[in-house]
Amino acid sequence: MTNPMQKNVVVVGGGLAGLSAACALSDAGYRVQLLERRPYVGGRASSYEHPGTGEVIDNCQHVLIGRCTNLIDLYARLGVPNAIRWYNQFTFVEPGGRESVLRSTGLPAPMHSSLSFLAAKCFTVADKIAIARGLLAFVWGLPPDSGENFGAWLTRHGQTHGAIERFWKPVLVSALNEDPERISVHYAAKVFRESFLSSARAGEMGIPSIPLSELYGHAIDYITARGGEVRLRTSVESIACSGTENRWRVLSADETFDADAVVLALPFEGMARLLPQMPDAPGKETLGAKLAAFEHSPITGIHLWFDREITPLEHAVLLDSPVQWLFNKSALQPEHRASGEHYIELVVSASRALVPMQRQEIVDLAVAELGRFFPAMREATLVKAAVVKEVRATYSVRPGLDAVRPGAESPWPRMVLAGDWTATGWPATMEGAVRSGYQAAEAVTAIFGARRRIRVEDLPHGGLMKLTPA
Ligand SMILES: Cc1cc2nc3c(=O)[nH]c(=O)nc-3n(C[C@H](O)[C@H](O)[C@H](O)COP(=O)(O)OP(=O)(O)OC[C@H]3O[C@@H](n4cnc5c(N)ncnc54)[C@H](O)[C@@H]3O)c2cc1C
Are residues 403 and 265 both part of a single domain?
yes
CA distances from 213 to 39, 56, 60, 221 (A): 11, 10, 12, 13
**Is 94 among the domain residues?**
no
Are residues 117 and 190 both part of a single domain?
yes
Give the burial string for 103-138 (b: 16+ CB within 10 Å, else e): bbeeeebbebbbebbeebebbeeebbebbeebbeeb
Q: pLDDT tens, position by position, for the chain (470 residues)? A: 446 658 999 999 999 999 999 999 999 999 999 999 999 999 999 999 999 999 999 999 999 999 999 999 999 999 999 999 999 999 999 999 999 999 999 999 999 999 999 999 999 999 999 999 999 999 999 999 989 999 999 999 999 999 999 999 999 999 999 999 999 999 999 999 999 999 999 999 999 999 999 999 999 999 999 999 999 999 999 999 987 678 999 999 999 999 999 999 999 999 999 999 999 999 999 999 999 999 999 999 999 999 999 999 999 999 999 999 999 999 999 888 777 899 999 999 999 999 999 999 999 999 999 999 999 999 999 999 999 999 999 999 999 999 999 999 999 999 999 999 999 999 999 999 999 999 999 999 999 999 999 999 999 999 999 999 88
Are residues 403 and 269 both part of a single domain?
yes
Are residues 107 and 188 both part of a single domain?
yes
**Is 69 among the domain residues?**
no
Residue 432 CA, closest ligand 1 atom number: 19
**Is 14 among the domain residues?**
yes
Are residues 281 and 406 both part of a single domain?
yes
| Ligand 1, pocket residues at CB < 6 Å | 12-18, 35-38, 43-45, 59-60, 62-64, 235-236, 265-267, 270, 274, 299, 390, 393-394, 419-420, 428-433
Looking at ligand 1, which residue's alpha carbon is closest to its atom 5? 62
Q: Which one of 395, 418, 433 terminates a domain?
A: 395
The CA angle 58-62-63, to the nearest 5 degrees, is: 150
- Total Cβ atoms within 10 A of residue 275: 16
Give the number of residues written for the chain. 470
The conformation of residue 459, written as its DSSP 8-state character, comes to: P
The CA angle 255-8-40, to the nearest 5 degrees, is: 55
Best residue for ligand 1 mutational test, from 250, 254, 266, 327 (most atoms within 8 Å of Cβ): 266
Q: Identify the CATH number of the domain in which residue 34 sits.
A: 3.50.50.60
Q: Is 397 annotated as a binding residue?
A: no
**Is 284 among the domain residues?**
yes
Q: How many domains would you assign to the chain?
A: 3
Question: Which domain range does residue 136 map to?
Answer: 103-203
